[in-house]
Chains A and B, each alone.
Chain A
Amino acid sequence: MTLENGWEMVVGLEVHTELKTATKMFCGCANSFGSEPNTNVCPVCLGLPGSLPVLNERAIELAMAIGMALHSRIAPSTFHRKNYFYPDMPKDFQISQYDLPINSGGYLDLPDGSRVSIERAHLEEDTGKSTHLGGSGRIHGADRSLVDYNRSGVPLVEIVSGPDIRSSAQARAYAMELRGILIATGASDGRMEEGSMRIDANVSVRQSADPFGTRCEIKNLNSLRSLQRAIDYEAQRQVELIEAGGTVRQETRHWDEILAVTSTMRIKEEADDYRYFREPDLVDLAPDQAWQDRVRGELPAMPAERRAKLSSRLNEPSDAQVGAVEVVIDLGLDPFVHAAIDHGVDPSLALARAANELAAGLDGITRLSHEAFSVTLSMEQGGELSATQAKTVLGELLARGGDPKAVAAAKGFEQLSSDTLGATVAELIVQYPDEWARYRDGDEKLAQFFIGQVMKLTKGQANGKAVVGELQARR
Chain B
Amino acid sequence: MGSPLRREDVAYVAKLARLTLSDAELDMFTEQLGQVLAHAEDMGALNLENVVATAHPFGLINVVRDDIVRPSLEREVVLAMAPDARDGRFAVPRIMGEAP
Contacts and interface: CB of A to CB of B under 8 A. Distances in A.
A and B directly contacting (CB within 8 A): yes
Interface in B61-100: 61-73, 75, 78-79, 86-95, 97-100
B97 A266 contact: yes
Interface string A394-429: 000000000000000000000000000000000000
B100 A147 contact: no
Instruction: Report whether over half of chain B's contact residues are helix, strand or loop; otherwise say mixed.
Output: loop
Given A38-B75, A130-B95, A139-B95, A146 B89 contact: yes
A144 B78 contact: no
Contact of B94 (A55, A56, A132, A283): A132
A40 B72 contact: yes
A266 B89 CA distance: 27
A327 interface: no
A146 B18 contact: no
B16 interface: yes
A89 B62 CA distance: 25
B99 A144 contact: no
Contacts, number: 147
Interface string A17-56: 0000111000111100000111111110010000000111
A391 interface: no
Contact of A41 (B65, B72, B95): B72
Contact of A148 (B69, B88, B94): B88
Instruction: Report whether over half of chain A's contact residues are helix, strand or loop; otherwise say mixed.
Output: loop
B8 to A, nearest CB: 12
Given A38-B78, A42-B72, A285 B94 contact: no
Given A56-B64, A57-B67, A42 B73 contact: yes
A279 B61 CA distance: 13
Interface string B1-45: 000000000001000101000000000000000000000000000
Interface of A: 21-23, 27-30, 36-43, 46, 54-60, 76, 84-89, 127, 130-134, 139, 142-149, 219, 252, 254, 265-266, 270-273, 275, 277-278, 280, 282-288, 291
Interface of B: 12, 16, 18, 55-56, 59-73, 75, 78-79, 86-95, 97-100
- Rank and list the top 9 A-B pairs by shortest CB-CB distance, nearest first: A28-B70, A58-B67, A146-B89, A57-B64, A278-B55, A37-B88, A283-B60, A147-B90, A145-B95
Given A89-B99, A283-B63, 7 more contacts: A28-B65, A29-B69, A41-B72, A146-B87, A146-B92, A278-B56, A285-B61
